[in-house]
Structure 1
Amino acid sequence: MDEYTLASHYYLLLDALPEHVFVFSEQGQYLEVFGGQDNHTQFDCKAYVGQYLHDVMPLKSAELFLSYIQQAIKKNKTVIVNYHFNNDTMIRFPDDIEPPKELWFEGIIKPLAERYHDQKTVLWTARNITQRHYLEKQLKALSETDELTGVLNRRAFMNALYNKRQQFLRDTQDVSLLMLDIDRFKSVNDSLGHQAGDAVIKHVTELCQQTIRQVDSLGRLGGEEFAIILHDANLDQAYQLASRLCQRVATQPCIWQQQPIKVTISIGLSTFKIEDKTPEQVIQRADHAMYTSKHLGRNLVSIFSPNHQGQFPKI
């Protein structure tokens, strides 16, 4: 096999690679493009050869990609990154090809020994992981979602509480926690059955979602017990929201099999403190306040704090 035929043979092999393989200069110029048959973009990207990242994608994306290249060169080691293209960041496609709405890729960027006009170069392998990304996203959502209500389950809520505490320690912005429990829930299950109990739980969930803000986090901790993280809310603001929620639940019965089921809830409040060692401490205070509401007759909002302890008038 002569030299020309051998070179052609190797190019055919490279073009048969399932993922796109790019050779970039350290300035972000496309030097070579191979493969990509399994990336499902309907575009082999060979038209990019000779062009620069800034020529084929928006500025922000080009700068990000260039930083990945320079990071691999600087560290002289392989860098693995995940990135995506959407309407705002999509690479430029030929006019006869309709760009996908969104693409996710895993990029493996390896420094090369070869130079191009005294510039260092990298080998960038791009694997389309769009399907995997959405599958992982779906599995993550399932693992974090309460099956009955669709809100955060206990594990996901505790993660959200931990993250909110870390944010609180950075900016000391007020954060309040509501613990709430459905009053006399066992009697609903015992007298009407578990399907009625499930309907009541979903009813209370919907009323909570209607009352809180998008920035707040609602979780079902188990059974008939819920918790709500209120972002940027002091005790007075949290009490106002909790009062509205308590009143809304008390005045809007759950309709099950065309029959109304009267529902009330007991709520306990507390706020994050700098001196707390763990997120569980704010839960313990709010939980204590919630059981104060239970003890004092239910359908109450109680606050636990150094300056506000005890109960408020029954709604």
Structure 2
Amino acid sequence: MFSLKQTQAILTALPDPVFILTRSGKYANILGGTDTRYYHNGSALIGRFFSEVLVAEKANWFMQQIALALQSGQMLVVEYQLAGSDVLGLEDGPDEPIWFEGRIQPLAFQIDGEDAVLWVASNITARHQLQQRLLHLSEVDELSHLYNRRKLRSQLDSQFSLFHRHQTPCSLLVFDLDFFKQLNDACGHPTGDCVIEAVGRVCLQTVREEDLAARYGGDEFAVLMPHTNTQQAWSLADRLRRKIQHVLLQMDLPQICTSISGGISEFLPSDEKVETIIQRADRGLYMAKNLGRNRICCEHPD
């Protein structure tokens, strides 16, 4: 058996900080946190309240997690971030937010007359950054730097559900490069890759923050435009068409592939599946091709 002194020494030596926090948001005690790569000495917090240390929004969030853990009577695991701007009076904080995993265990006894929890905070910033990087790689097309087909389909499904719940307008643009195959045949795939990359760059510079631009496959692209009806979508799409044409004409390339053709499909109450929306946009694209290319068309429903 360890003596009380030895037990206290072991707890103090823990690499991750262990906070004893009361229901009212008081730092009753702080143990551990000896891994100086990630943590600073937090002993000055003991006896203080969240409201004295953190901005109101973050203080309230911590209070809510403590209340949830106490209500359930079981350990609660949460991930959260803390930025320098979250800490009151901190002038020289970290440039980037720090991510933590919090393990919150209700205590079977009270501290200073209050229910309390033991909160172990582990710095998971490196893990979080790796997860975000892997997520980015799984969702973004390497050549165009736009989202890939998988991400587009996921967002289409989400917007489709929102549309049928709230009837907020949403439109899809599908477009491809005119005579792209001829360009690849005449100049080679590296030249074609330069064109794909240029189109992706124009999309990123042109679409709105709420839009999602994706490389759908090969030389085919798509832009999902929430809260946008057909007329608004056509204006945005035609502006994108003109900007892409301007950039392609400025490139030191044979004048084979200098424009795009596209089709627009607005979500309709009669649409029973996402494929119907995609097929309608494709038909608009084929219409643009048949009418001479370098234009945006929309198949009007009956």
**Does TM-score exceed 0.5, indicating one fold?**
yes
The whole-number CA distance in structure 2 between the counterparts of 1:107 and 1:38 is 16
79, 93, 104: which one aligns with 1:109: 104
Instruction: Look up the match of 1:70.
Output: 67
Find the partner of 1:100 among 81, 84, 94. 94
Give the residue type in structure 2 aligned to 1:100. P
Please, which of 48, 52, 73 is the counterpart of residue 51 of structure 1? 48
Match for residue 286 of structure 1?
281
Secondary structure in 2 aligned to 1:189? helix
Structure 1: stretches of 5+ with no match in the other structure? 308-315
1:215 correspondence with 2:207: no
- What residue ranges of structure 2 are gaps of 5+ in the alignment? none
Q: Is residue 199–residue 256 contact of structure 1 (8 Å, CA) maintained in 2? A: no
Counterpart for residue 82 of structure 1:
79
Aligned to 1:276: 271
Q: For the residues of structure 1 that align with 2:35 and 2:274, how far apart are their CA atoms?
A: 46
1:181-220, aligned counterparts within 5 Å?
181-220=176-215
> Do structure 1's residue 297 and structure 2's residue 282 form an aligned pair?
no
Contact persistence 1:196–1:256 (CA under 8 A): no
Does the aligned pair in 1 maintain the 2:54–2:86 contact within 8 Å? yes
| Alpha-carbon shift at residue 91 of structure 1 (Å) | 6.2
What is the TM-score when the length of structure 2 is the normalising length? 0.91
Query: Sequence identity of aligned pairs in percent?
Result: 36
**1:1-315 equivalent positions in 2, closer than 5 A:** 6-38=3-35, 40-90=37-87, 98-101=92-95, 102-254=97-249, 261-306=256-301
Offset of 1:260 from its aligned partner? 5.1
Confirm or deny: 8 A CA contact 1:39 1:127 kept in the other structure: no
- Equivalents in 1 of 2:253, 2:176: separation in Å? 24
Q: CA deviation at 1:148?
A: 0.2
The answer to whether the 8 Å contact 1:207/1:249 transfers is yes
CA distance in 2, matches of 1:260, 1:287: 26
Name the Cα RMSD after superposition: 2.3
Check whether the contact 2:147–2:215 (CA below 8 A) recurs between aligned residues: yes
Higher relative strand content: 1
> What is the CA–CA distance in structure 2 between the aligned matches of 1:175 and 1:234, rounded to whole Å?
6
Greater mean alpha carbon deviation, residues 21-30 or residues 220-229: 21-30
Contact 1:266–1:300 (CA<8 Å) still a contact in 2? yes
2:180 and 2:257 in contact (8 A); partners too = no
